[in-house]
A and B are shown apart, each in its own frame.
Chain A
Amino acid sequence: MAKYLGARFARCHETGITTRSISTMAEDDDLAQSLETHRKYLQRYAQFHLRDPSLAEDAVQDTLVAALSQRDRFQGRSQLRTWLTGILKHKVIDLMRSRDRALPPDAFSLDQDNNSAEGAFDAGGNWVDPPADWGKPDAALEASQFWRVYQECCQRMSRRDALVYSMREVMGLSSEEICKKIEITTTNLHVILFRARQSLRTCISKNWFGTQHD
């Protein structure tokens, strides 16, 4: 990546960058170096969502290139990492969207009549497997093993549900942004989020709160 950015700078130098001051060029080098220090984090972030190392690499590369070309917009208003993550989010979503478009259209169709989270309820609307008390769950947030369980549970959802859930809960996009970005109705969004929450809850209940762990 550093090599790639270097080549990009070289091209800039050929195309009339001589008019720019030495200090600006030094700033460019500083920025390129700073970007490099965030690369591993960005790679982990992209990999978490995309579950595909080479696609994640693409997202990160696109992000770093975009960051360099929009460097004027970054005025130290926020942390560099926050700014980069903001760009990366959208690259990740775009990549997932284009990957998902390659699947048959009915792969994601929502059955409005049968959306009760895969048999969580009986015909009368009662819990089939009633949610048990998790006690004080927040202690789990400090356990690294918990996060492995969390990730594995996320992977049990369909890619589509996992993406929508992550956009909302991990990336922190608003409901409106998500509906607009991936072109679904608010009702669909609520159905997907409910299904995702129910799936994640059941899986974590079974694999963390229902088991003994250190």
Chain B
Amino acid sequence: MIHRLIYPCEQAAKLSSRAMEQALTMPERVRLRLHLMMCERCTNFSRQIEFLRRASRKIPEVLENDAD
């Protein structure tokens, strides 16, 4: 039973990435949340790709402030 809930980090990481593109289904959301609750590594991954999104969206601003 527990194995049906805890799937590999690879799947969790891919789901975290896809969650930034589209709404996950309810079962996907529940399973991802369960995995993240138990897995620090994937929690770090998830936070990091969200940070990268914040960073990337700042690029135009950074280019604007670049010295000529």
Contact = CB atoms under 8 A, between A and B. Distances in A.
Given A44-B66, A121-B8, A134 B18 contact: no
Contacts of B21: 168, 175, 189-190, 193
Contact of A170 (B20, B49, B56): B56
Question: Which of B9, B48, B51, B53: most chain A Cβ within 10 A?
Answer: B48
B10 A116 contact: yes
Given A41-B63, A197-B17, A201-B52, A125 B10 contact: yes
A interface secondary structure, majority: helix
Contact of A131 (B14, B22, B41, B53): B41
Contacts of A116: 10
A201 B54 CA distance: 13
Contacts, number: 91
A137 B51 contact: yes
B57 A131 contact: no
A172 to B, nearest CB: 7
Interface string B52-67: 1111111110111010
B48 A194 contact: no
A84 to B, nearest CB: 12
B54 A170 contact: no
A90 B27 CA distance: 38
Interface of B: 7-11, 13-14, 17-18, 20-22, 40-42, 44-45, 47-49, 51-60, 62-64, 66, 68
